[in-house]
Structure 1
Amino acid sequence: MADDGDSSLEEDHVAIVTEKLNLTSPTPVSHVQLACCNSHCAFPWQGNELRIYINTDIGAKPLNLIGHHENVSALAFGARQDPLLLCSASNDYVIVWDIEQCYRRDIEGLIASGVVIGTCLGRAQHLSLCSENEKVAVCSGAKTHILNIQKRELVVSLSGHLGSVTAAEFCPWDGHVLLTSSEDRTFKVWDLRTEECLYQSSVLSAFPLLSLFISEEKRQLITGSTNGQVWAFSLPEDFRCRVVSRVDLQKVEQRRLKHMEGSPANKPERQPRCQSPGSVPGEQADTVETSRPVLRLSPCTALPGCVQDQERCGNLYWIGSTDSLFLLDLDAAELRTALYLKDYPNLTFSMAGSWAIHQRDKDKILCVMSSPFESAIILFEVRMSEYSLSPCPWEEILTVFPSGPLLPESPLNAVLVRKGVPKPIKKPGPEVKVVQMDRPLTFHPRVKSSGYATRPWACTNKVISPKKSSMSVKTRKKPRCILPEYPEDIAVPTVLYNQVSAAERPAPVSCLQYSGDGKHVLCGLGNASALLYKSTLAGTTAVYTGHDGPINTVDWSFNRKWVVTSAEDRTVRVWPIGNAEPILIMGDDKFSKPVKSAHFYYLDKFMLLSSGHALHLYLYHLHLARDDIKRYHQKSLCKPVGRFKMSSGTDITCTSTINQLYSYIVLAAGVDRSVEVFDMNVGHICAEIPDAHTRAVHHITQNQGSVFSTQAPDLYNLFLTGAVTDGLKLWDLRTLRCVRRYEGHANRCHPCGAAFSPCGRYIATGSEDNCAYVYDIRSCTYLHKLPRHSDPVLTVAFNPAKPEASRDGCRSREPLLKDGPLRLEPQHSAARRVPRPHSGIRLSAEEIVCPAFFTEAEKLLQA
């Protein structure tokens, strides 16, 4: 039986990886740049010769090209297929070959020849052709030479790196811009017209940079180093690059292997990489840590099961390393798949010195690889349809929308019944007929008088006519001209509108939330009080006091009549709007640990609380009548419905749920860095994300949208998680896969929150560099950085209501937005500073900043 299992495993490996070609060259080719395109592959042969094969017909006679006198060190195909050009370089010549013309001359029995465009430039480490096949970049030593193919001359030599240049790439959308990476651990952006350096990066790592790639679709630069670090930088119009993401291959590989431990159905099964030769399976083997140098970067155009025109497969790249081939998702900073060469016995060797990777279609990948210890070259094909790209330990597809009706035993069917008051029983009986009551003939409340009881008019010759009043017809005021719906193409808020001091003494604003109509904003402070403002931050402020510890969360009810607060004093209080006294107090006798979160749930039917390692679901009844004599006697009721524990028994750090619809899904994050999904319809955990971050998750929020906006149904399945030193991650609830990662802001020690915009296009987050950052949800780099703050920004919130144009003469003569869509919690602006005593450095701010913005439509409405 064991032999049958081993044979089936080998058959699966053969189906995934197929070796097409195996050659042994008389001269070493371990660190030579190999070339591969959609139709051909090329590599040095016997030192100074070139050998070219057709990918679709490997058995055909290869094309041998002779022209160099010394060993060829680099090869590169052009980007265009008509004509297909191949450039080769050695110490003596740089030659450009027309492949079609070379085949034609070979068929005619003539010697195929190329065009020499450069001589005696030194040993070339890397070659690159521009997108129009007009220029060639030759990396030789610490210099980069630019050659013109048509004029066959040297255009310019760029020098500025302190080490050898390892890679160079032309900008796809601007052929006059060149990017180079070097062993001095930096990269540079060059302007070939002025021969000046437009941008130079800082030292990225302690190890040299080896590979470089430019994504035209994402407008990003991707580079990799010897120790397995991969960076992605944005390339704006001024080429002032900004870091988008950074990935450590060794860490993401360990996280992927740990995630796959809970997925036994994943194929192919593989033995541990670190198991020593000759060891018995099942015994503990010695572990050896190995580095993952990024030898080659190549884009992944499509994946099996993805329709490229309808669904983009993501920002994926193939990475060739010394012993493996990785598929890396840069947006999510995760490995989609990993192929270890030693797991495939049909390959001639399992270590790589250099790579050439090209994806022919969404199912096949061609790889040319040379051995670091032997003068051998192999060409193999990888069929991704046979490999599992997304192992999922769960069976159902989750969604925030109810997938079915409530189960009879569901906790959400609970009903609150007061003691001693039985339910009313409807007795069966005949239908009740509605009888019209007798009324007098004239029953209107106001009837015009007949005039019999009044004094008759005197008989005169004058005709008396009633006077016409100028105000006989009442004119209605024109309603305010507001936008019918929250605009989807709204601009990003960048202008400060108003601010207000939340406390006389330094006190952190820990939480912030708008009401559903966007007219009020509620914030919780570290001094155990909660403040209720109007959305314009004008007028009087309602203060809710009563807690004995810092407030953790605040939440609005769906009907906007109640707010709930939870604090570190292990109490939860429900406050009516317009009254400073709580209408319901859940004391510390119910909870043994602080209540980390409190939410209204299931359209205000329940209250969902988290304390310790469990979620608490309560039914409640709020008694509205007030008795001045027994004003401290609580008449409101609450009844526990269920208590749902985390599977690992760890304490809950934060929770999230949607109260605007009947959703069964509740998200909870634990101290053990995991995120668990609760299905309240069945009352247990339905899915889990282990090790969602490298640190404990301190913030989790779902895309709840707004009653004033319309989004696609799939967007409601997105949620954000944040952790210290690990940035923000965007997840898809349907697959529980990280789809984006945002790292442009600073978050090293404070729990900085984030929020979705009502239109679903933007994400705002706080930062420790006294700024707030606004991201486009489709891009990993930030759009705007909102400065002018004096303290770290801890929480942010978008206004869910419609933007309303108004004119406020007391602040400005120009029309301002009354309800801006973004309200940032911490700090004040230097332009509108409120004088108050400032004592030392505060960890969080005590002011609320309200940026506003204008659009062309709003200007027309204001006019």
Structure 2
Amino acid sequence: MGEPRGIFCSAQGCVGDVIIEQRLVESKEPASHVPLACSAQYCAFPVDGNVLCLWNTTDPSYQPLTLRGHHEPITAVAFGNTVSPLLICSASQDYVIMWSLDECRQKVLQAFPLLSLLIDAKSRQLVTGCANGQLWIFSLVEGHHFRCVTRVSLKKKSESFSRRVESRLCCLPEESQHPCTHGLEKGDEVEASLPVLGLAPCDLSAIVSAPCVCGLSSETTSCLWIGSSAGLFIFNLANFELEAVLHYRDFRSLSIHVAGSCAVMSKANDDKAICLLTSLFGRKIVMLEIRVAALVRSQQGHDAGRHLSVLPRTCVGPTSPLCFTTAKESKTPPAPQRQSAGRSTVKDQPLVFHTKVRSSGYASAPHVTMFSPKANTRKRGDHSSRCRDGPRSKEYPLESSPPTKLYKQRVLAHGPAAAHCVQYSAGDGQWLACGLANHLLLAFRADLSGTPTVFSGHDGAVSTVCWSHDSRWLLSASQDGTLRLWSLRRAELALCLGKDVFSKPVRSAQFYYVDTFVLLSSGPELQLLKYHIDTCKDEIQRYKQKNRCKRVFRLPTTGRTEITSLSAVNDFYSYLVLTAGRNRTLEVFDLNAGRSAAMTVEVHSRPVHQICQNKGSSFTTQQHEAYNLFATTASGDGIKLWDLRTLRCERLFEGHPNHGYPCGIAFSPCGRYVASGAEDRHAYMYDLGSSTFSHRLAGHTDTVTSVAFSPAAPQVDAVGVTADWQQDAGILVNHGGISAPSRMRSGCDHAVAC
């Protein structure tokens, strides 16, 4: 295509800049009689007989648009409407095609040249790099049918990595900062895009260590070199994050600052890497030697030495808010032993204070040793385990396959009533609670038999539901601003805390420290409540209100950012509480010390709407290190698996569509799978050793918003939104778990899947 040329001539001679030849193209076919069409924005004509070409008449720099689809010569061309979407019709002996120029142009803009390709045998993934700086990663696992795992923008990853490195360096002394991590100086130009010029394997097993649990050891964690025009990048194929960045312009002694071609080579167990570069604007070719360990460690900071753990290593300190209750109770004199003749000698105090109840954990105060997560129910001789019947008396199968088939479905409510949350009873898994948008809270038996227990009293949708460890109490939070505690045995309200107690709405709430406290978030504060429930068996005296609750501790987040989600272990004693802020930070609080223990920034591209810990269950035995794994999820940003000991993202799970509605996640009791809701009417199952989903659970007719695993049997619950207006709200049961749908538009019913 030639340059514009002035071609106007008159009697006085040729005059330039009057008629300008803007474009020129040569066709292989004769062009004497071809159909032509013009509009206010485009000119259209066939090239080579059957190829339709369009030129933009308003912007000469606009690249020509070539449309292919005809096999026979094009015989007619005509433009349609003049407003968006702009249409053009072309006809030949074989087809009459209507083209949408906006969609065609968008596809052309996305079609960038493929510059590099790499197959990683360890992760069984195919990685391709494009000229626009995009990485496309495909799964080569059998049965995945070469599905796309994720698409990564190298420019966005580089910017996010730079911000994280700067936040780490701000906490270090000035003399410990490495000069190569400061980035570009002022006045330097930043690349508009980072074309992927080369890909090569990179061995970081001796530098970056992954947790040795759940198949996440460093032997299966693969990294690769990415060579671009502006620098070199080390990319982790497990979490799709950058481990290190080397900008050419940070080293003024280098002969090449903008590369046109790049090739990298590094050997296994070798600290050196060789990089070959050619200059984009010159004739220079250089070879670089890179010290990989020094590059990575200069940008990792000191996060690896944090040594956090969910399992406590010391006893409760004397100033800890966790020993508030035990210290106070030990100093309180016993109540007078006045009893009526017709009453038994049952003490008038809550169950958790009974010294004969082993599950309460308050036989002595303060605690000298903390017990670990329960491992095997068959070794326990308590009455509850002997009373269990059927498969629930067996240990949860750690090698079981994930749920794949729909097992059962049950109606929850008639009419428009979305399910917002679903949760199994933690201790025995014999009950299932579900919070609805019609202000009701339902409690089912785990097998969905019988009539559910209905708890009414909220004036808004029930957004959070939580079981106590002994499965006797239910905690619910609602959009009406109240927090309510219910008795499952009596099916009645035991305690209600309203807006007069909390200055901000309660976003998350749960039982904590083996039912000793209620842990909740209100605005930017983490609050610890001590509650007392009267368990008097006298039918007359029990109507006297003796239940009470008192705030014993409150702690604001760093920067006083609003908490969007929190998580803590209640099945065994643990000091740590995980919180996520609206500013996309993740903060860990040590309630034994009563302070913030660690924080990391930019955990997701959007605020986290759920934190989920690997808590196991009373029916499983996991490695102690596995309890330090937790997951976070945010709309449009997948699921991230974290190791609490380093606050490092170890793996990213993508594949489930979740762009606008918060969809819940859950760990399986065996610690091998993560389930997630999705907006395509499915619940997704992820294996922790793979970054893409292994199964999809069907059955819902709209968005699946919450999922939960049974702690006693391999089944999963999912609740979501049902689009069929003629259907009633119900529960779907899949072997291996349950899912629950929520409503996204009025008039739609929902279903819950197990």
1:576 aligned to 2:487?
A: yes
C-alpha displacement at 1:419, in angstroms? 11
**Residue 239 of structure 1, CA deviation:** 7.3
> What does residue 96 of structure 2 align with?
none
Distance 2:744 2:166 in 1: 50
1:34-113 paired onto structure 2 within 5 Å: none
- The change in CA–CA distance for 1:355 and 1:243 in structure 2 (over 3 A counts) is same
**2:229 aligns with one of 313, 322, 325:** 322
For the residue of structure 2 that corresponds to 1:257, the secondary structure is helix
Distance 1:690 1:609, change over 3 A: same
Letter in 2 for 1:401: L
Displacement after TM superposition at 1:580 (Å): 2.3
Match of 1:846 among 730, 750, 753: 750
Instruction: Kindly report which structure 2 residues correspond to 1:167-566, keeping only aligned pairs within 5 A, or say none.
Output: 205-237=110-142, 240-264=145-169, 265=172, 267-270=177-180, 273-276=183-186, 285=187, 288-305=190-207, 311-312=218-219, 314-362=221-269, 363-387=271-295, 388=297, 389-392=299-302, 396-415=306-325, 422-424=332-334, 480=390, 484-516=394-426, 517-566=428-477
How far residue 513 of structure 1 moved from its aligned partner, in angstroms, is 0.7
Aligned 8 A contact 1:368 1:379 in 2: yes
| TM-superposed deviation, 1:775 | 0.7
Q: Distance in 1 between matches of 2:601 and 2:723?
A: 41
Residue in 1 that maps onto 2:516: 605
Q: In the aligned structure 2, how far is the partner of 1:656 from the partner of 1:728?
A: 16
Residues 112-133 of structure 1: CA deviation (Å, up to 9, x unaligned): xxxxxxxxxxxxxxxxxxxxxx
Q: Aligned partners of 1:203 and 1:782: how far apart in 2?
A: 30
Aligned residues of 1:501 and 1:846 also touching (Cα < 8 A): no
Paired AA for residue 231 in structure 1: W
Would you say the 8 A contact 1:394–1:687 is kept in 2? no
String of CA shifts for 1:228-251, please: whole Å, max 9, x gaps.
Answer: 111111124477321212211111
More helix by share: 2
Distance 1:843 1:315, change over 3 A: farther
Pairwise CA distance, 1:604: 1.0
The CA deviation at 1:784 is 0.6
Flag the 1:522–1:673 CA change in 2: closer, same or farther, 3 A: same
Equivalent in the alignment of 2:27: none
Task: Quote how far apart the aligned CAs of 1:331 are.
Answer: 2.3
Paired residues in the alignment total 573
Q: Deviations 1:34-70 (Å, cap 9, x if unpaired)?
A: xxxxxxxxxxxxxxxxxxxxxxxxxxxxxxxxxxxxx
Residue aligning to 1:750? 661
The 1:646–1:515 alpha-carbon spacing in structure 2 relative to 1, beyond 3 Å, is same
Scaled by the length of structure 2, what TM-score is found?
A: 0.71
- 1:740 and 2:651 aligned: yes
Aligned to 1:703, which of 601, 614, 623? Answer: 614
Q: Distance in 2 between matches of 1:650 and 1:481?
A: 46
For residues 259-297 of structure 1, give each alpha carbon's deviation from its aligned partner in whole angstroms, at most 9, with x where no partner exists. 122222465224754434xxxxxxxx5764531110001
- Counting only pairs closer than 5 Å after superposition, residues 628-639 of structure 1 correspond to structure 2 as 633-639=544-550
Residue 643 of structure 1: how far off its partner (Å): 0.6
Q: Which stretch has the larger CA shift, 490-499 or 764-773?
A: 490-499
Pair 1:315–1:417, CA change in 2 (3 A): closer
Q: Taking structure 1 as the reference length, what is the TM-score of the superposition?
A: 0.62
Question: Does the C-alpha gap of structure 1 residues 639 and 765 become closer, same or farther in structure 2, counting only changes over 3 Å?
Answer: same
Bigger relative contact order, structure 1 or 2 (CA pairs below 8 A, ≥6 apart): 2
SS at match of 1:375: coil
C-alpha displacement of 1:790: 0.7
Alignment map for 1:125-204 (pairs within 5 Å): none
In 2: Cα distance, 1:372 partner to 1:840 partner: 52
Q: Give the letter aligned to residue 258 of structure 2.
A: M
Question: Per the alignment, do residues 355 and 729 of structure 1 end up closer, same or farther by CA in structure 2, a change over 3 Å counting?
Answer: same
2:718 to 824, 839, 842: 824
Which of these two proteins has the greater Rg computed from alpha carbons?
Answer: 1
Is the alpha carbon distance of 1:632 and 1:361 closer, same or farther for their aligned partners in structure 2, counting shifts above 3 Å? same
CA deviation string 1:584-623 (max 9, x = no partner): 2222210122211111111111110111111110111110
Number of the residue aligned with 1:721: 632
Distance 1:204 1:775 in 2: 33
The structural deviation recorded for 1:333 is 2.2
CA distance in 2, matches of 1:638, 1:398: 31
Q: Which residue of 2 aligns with 1:784?
A: 695
Q: CA deviation at 1:344?
A: 2.5
1:674 aligns with 2:585: yes
Query: 1:848 is aligned with what amino acid?
Result: V
Does structure 1 retain, via aligned residues, the 8 Å contact 2:723–2:750? no
Query: Residue deviations 1:74-124, cap 9 Å, x none?
Result: xxxxxxxxxxxxxxxxxxxxxxxxxxxxxxxxxxxxxxxxxxxxxxxxxxx
CA 1:482–1:630 in 2, change beyond 3 Å: closer, same or farther? closer
Given that residues 406 and 413 in structure 1 are in contact (C-alpha distance below 8 angstroms), is that contact kept between their aligned partners in structure 2?
yes
Greater Cα offset, 695-704 or 583-592: 583-592
Q: Do the aligned partners of residues 552 and 226 (structure 1) sit closer, same or farther apart at CA in structure 2, a change above 3 Å counting?
A: same
Cα distance change of structure 1 residues 758 and 631 upon mapping to structure 2, 3 Å threshold: same
**Per the alignment, in what secondary structure is the counterpart of residue 531 of structure 1?**
strand
* Distance change in 2, residues 1:224/1:382 (3 Å): same
The CA distance in 2 between the partners of 1:478 and 1:249, in whole Å, is 54
Give the conservation status (yes or no) of the 8 Å contact 1:825–1:845: no
Tell me which residue corresponds to 2:358: none
Match of 1:617 in 2: 528
Cα 1:625–1:631 change in 2 (3 A) is: closer
SS for the counterpart of 1:672 is coil
Measure how far apart 1:742 and its partner are.
1.4
> Does the CA contact (< 8 Å) of 1:416 and 1:639 recur in 2?
no
How far did residue 335 of structure 1 move?
Answer: 0.9
Distance in 2 (CA, whole Å) between partners of 1:399 and 1:392 is 17
CA contact (8 A) 2:180 2:251 kept: no
| Alpha-carbon contact 1:318-1:326 (below 8 Å) kept | yes
Deviation at 1:489, TM superposition (A): 1.4
Mean Cα deviation higher: 538-547 or 296-305 = 296-305
1:583 alignment partner, SS class? strand
1: distance between equivalents of 2:316 and 2:392? 40
Deviation at 1:628, TM superposition (A): 5.8
Aligned residue for 1:648, secondary structure, equals: helix
CA shift in 2, pair 1:238/1:489, >3 Å: closer
Of residues 416-425 and 214-223 in structure 1, the stretch that sits farther from structure 2 once superposed is: 416-425
- Residue 682 of structure 2 corresponds to residue 771 of structure 1: yes
Deviation at 1:530, TM superposition (A): 0.6
- Give 3-state SS (helix, strand or coil) of 2:435's partner: strand
Q: Distance in 2 between matches of 1:412 and 1:300?
A: 46
Judge conservation of contact 1:514–1:800 (CA < 8 Å) in 2: yes
- Give the corresponding residue for 1:174: none
1:787: Cα distance to partner?
A: 2.0
Q: Post-superposition shift, 1:824?
A: 1.5
Question: Residue 262 of structure 1: SS of its match in structure 2?
Answer: helix
Distance of 1:504 and 1:479 partners within structure 2: 33
Task: Tell me the CA shift for residue 828 of structure 1.
Answer: 7.2
The unaligned stretches of length 5 or more in structure 1 are: 1-160, 163-201, 277-284, 426-476, 804-819, 851-863
Q: Answer yes or no: is the 8 Å Cα contact 1:532–1:542 preserved in 2.
A: yes
Cα offsets for 1:353-379 (capped at 9, x unmatched): 212211123311111222223322222
Distance 1:711 1:271 in 2: 40
Q: Which amino acid aligns with 1:390?
A: Q
| SS, match of residue 825 in structure 1 | strand
